[in-house]
Amino acid sequence: MFRNVAELVQMANSQNKKISEIMIEQEIAVTGRSREDILALMERNLLIMEEAVERGIKGVKSHSGLTGGDAVLMQKYIEKGNFLTGETILDAVSKAVATNEVNAAMGTICATPTAGSAGVVPGTLFAVKKKLNPTRDQMISFLFTSGAFGFVVANNASISGAAGGCQAEVGSAAGMAAAAIVEMAGGTPEQCAEAMAITLKNMLGLVCDPVAGLVEVPCVKRNAMGAANAMVAADMALAGITSRIPCDEVIDAMFKIGQSMPSSLRETAEGGLAATPTGRKLEAKIFGMPLHERELKS
Amino acid sequence: MKYKSVFDIIGPVMIGPSSSHTAGAARIGRVARSIFGREPKWVNISLYGSFAKTYKGHGTDVALIGGILDFDTHDERIIQAIELAKERGMKITFNVEDAVTDHPNTARVFIGDEKGELELVGISIGGGKIEITELNGFELKLSGHHPAILVIHNDRFGAIAAVANILATHEINIGHMEVSRKEKGKLALMTIEVDHNIGENILQEIDELPHVLKVTRIVD
């Protein structure tokens, strides 16, 4: 069993296997389930992600009215063709937003690694799909590679916004996605780890400050930028750029930064964007009164 | 390691918007329901930390009740769980607590009916994964991801060995086991996570052991 990224890369290299394969074999060993069952379960998750993207791209609206419709705007903008960056990256942004808009509307999604950060992995996967034309099996492998890196973060740091801030959620998701993109594009296990490190380094310190305590503002747009970050970091790693700080140390730094974050910035809606005048105004409008003054009734 | 499966990371499939505050909450409620063994008549839930601050935006309240109604994380009925529970005559009270707990996402679930009560504390540690940290005053650690049996017994010599013997005879493999007691020589609780669901006959054998007072089963 791998305990950190260094061990994961070492196992992949010494056995001449992809990281996704190492993850599948570990899952078989730990759960005792058959390979077929495990692949089928992941394929079901892939299907859920696909359905959420498709639903979001057609346009959804959350109950609060705070989010929805941005995935549609981005798709229309791509169709016009006058964009400044690239089609794949904007497609990833649109599909990440689509997933999180569905999540905010209490739709069905697959947590990757969490619901609040569920847009990044599928957003990048379905955008890269257009470019690389992967088989269905390769798309499933993408999710196992993401899962392998997420597994290390979850066990050595945190994937909870309440425990470690948004860096632990969208930061982890973006790092997982970057590593999986690299593997799908034909990169080495080392390059996967570099992409994860580069991504996560640029997500360090990101706080969890949801307006009105809803997984909407700024979560949806953080998924958008998490996807963009993952795409760029994957290209950097594939270009041969490496991180001076090893991936495991970046993960450890993320954990320690999370521990020193005040609770007002860890999913309590007490600080950051939640505490801005507009954030408070939106909160009052949605709930009729600020959260901290509200009393619970059955 | 807290997370053991890749599906703890890529998963669960769930109703939004939050894996810890919605899916995790539903799972805590569902474990309470599973240990209680039937639908309770009344529910009294206290929320702490981030759960207390943001429960409404995340649907933590509906998800907890959804779990108590035995709904899975992806069951769309979660959205209407509170109305459904009230229609079934369940009396529901929520309390928002200021107290600081060890984990930021903590819920204390107190449920019951005319025949009995159950009180447990659950924490939602991220990505939909939960742990049960307290049951009827006993400290424990239960992931809720494996079948398990909970044995309330007198703190006497041989009580643990007797239970382990029965499991060994039936070739049930123990994945995790711990014992908690409130006071030396008084009541104790064995928490045993196993690889396979345990049949009614085995449960009964354990129940008939001299120092065993109550056995509860959690099915996978």
Tens of pLDDT along chain A (298 residues) come to 999 999 999 999 999 999 999 999 999 998 889 999 999 999 999 999 999 999 999 999 998 899 999 999 999 999 999 999 999 999 999 999 999 999 999 999 999 999 999 999 999 999 999 999 999 999 999 999 999 999 999 999 999 998 999 999 999 999 999 999 999 999 999 999 999 999 999 999 999 999 998 999 999 999 999 999 999 999 999 999 999 999 999 999 999 999 999 999 999 999 999 999 999 999 998 876 555 555 444 3
Q: What is the pTM of this model?
A: 0.89
Task: Give the chain A residue nearest B105 (alpha carbons).
Answer: A162
Whole domain around residue B132: which residue ranges? 6-142
Identify the CA nearest to B44 among candidates B112, B106, B99: B112
Tell me which residue in A48, A155, A266 faces B2 most closely, judged by beta carbons. A155
Residue-level pLDDT at B181 = 87
Cβ A163–B22 below 8 Å, yes or no? no
Verify cis geometry, omega within 30 degrees of 0, for the bond prior to B12.
Answer: yes
Cβ A113–B127 below 8 Å, yes or no? yes
ipTM of the complex: 0.95
Task: Compute CA distances B123 → A115, A223, B96, B120, B211, whole Å.
Answer: 17, 25, 15, 10, 31
Which of A106, A196, A264 should we substitute to test contact with B (largest number of B Cβ atoms within 10 Å)?
Answer: A106
Cβ of A288: how many Cβ atoms within 10 Å?
Answer: 8
Identify the CA nearest to B43 among candidates B118, B93, B96: B93
Q: Which residues of A touch B1 (CB under 8 A)?
A: 1, 3, 155
Check if B58 contacts A (Cβ < 8 Å).
yes
**Final residue belonging to a domain, choices B127, B142, B157:** B142
Residue-level pLDDT at A194 = 98
Q: Which residues of A touch B45 (CB under 8 A)?
A: none
Asked whether residue B170 falls in the same domain as residue B202, the answer is yes
Angle at CA of residue A160, ends A155 and A163, nearest 5°: 95
Asked whether residue B45 falls in the same domain as residue B78, the answer is yes
Check if B11 contacts A (Cβ < 8 Å).
yes
Tell me which residue in B5, B11, B127 faces A45 most closely, judged by beta carbons. B11
Residue-level pLDDT at A290 = 52
- pLDDT (average), residues B148-160: 92
Candidate CATH numbers 1.10.3470, 1.20.120, 1.10.4100, 2.170.120; the one for domain A5-284: 1.10.4100
Asked whether residue B50 falls in the same domain as residue B98, the answer is yes
- pLDDT (average), residues B163-174: 92
On whether residue B1 sits in a domain, the answer given is no
pLDDT at B134 over 80: yes
SS3 for B13? strand
Asked whether residue B137 falls in the same domain as residue B28, the answer is yes
Asked whether residue B125 falls in the same domain as residue B180, the answer is no
Residue-level pLDDT at A297 = 41
Size of chain A, expressed as the number of residues it contains: 298
Note which residues in 128-147 of chain B have CB less than 8 A from chain A: 128
Residue-level pLDDT at B220 = 61
Asked whether residue B131 falls in the same domain as residue B157, the answer is no
Which of A60, A109, A208 should we substitute to test contact with B (largest number of B Cβ atoms within 10 Å)?
Answer: A109
**Final residue belonging to a domain, choices B95, B116, B142:** B142
The pairing of beta strand B42-48 with beta strand B91-96: parallel
Residue-level pLDDT at A298 = 38
For B93-106, write each residue's pLDDT tens digit. Answer: 999 999 988 888 99
Asked whether residue B177 falls in the same domain as residue B155, the answer is yes
- pLDDT (average), residues B139-151: 84
Cβ A114–B104 below 8 Å, yes or no? no
Task: Give the chain A residue nearest B53 (alpha carbons).
Answer: A268
Check if B7 contacts A (Cβ < 8 Å).
yes
Separation between Cα atoms, residue A144 and residue A268, nearest integer Å: 32
Asked whether residue B66 falls in the same domain as residue B21, the answer is yes
Q: Are B20 and B126 in contact (CB under 8 A)?
A: yes
Cβ A161–B6 below 8 Å, yes or no? no
Shortest Cα distance, chain A CAs vs residue B59, angstroms: 9
Q: Are A181 and A124 in contact (CB under 8 A)?
A: yes
Task: Give the chain B residue nearest A149 (alpha carbons).
Answer: B9
Asked whether residue B30 falls in the same domain as residue B126, the answer is yes
Structural domain count, chain B: 2
pLDDT at B218 over 80: no
Cβ B49–A104 below 8 Å, yes or no? no
Tell me which residue in B5, B14, B96 faces A115 most closely, judged by beta carbons. B14
Check if B102 contacts A (Cβ < 8 Å).
no
Question: Distance between terminal CA atoms of chain A?
Answer: 46
Asked whether residue B104 falls in the same domain as residue B13, the answer is yes
**Final residue belonging to a domain, choices B115, B142, B169:** B142
Asked whether residue B112 falls in the same domain as residue B88, the answer is yes
Note which residues in 144-183 of chain B have CB less than 8 A from chain A: none
Separation between Cα atoms, residue A58 and residue A62, nearest integer Å: 14
What is Dmax (Cα atoms) for chain A?
60
Separation between Cα atoms, residue B149 and residue B167, nearest integer Å: 11
Q: Which residues of B touch A3 (CB under 8 A)?
A: 1
- pLDDT (average), residues B154-178: 92
Where residue B180 sits, what CATH number does that domain have? 3.30.70.260
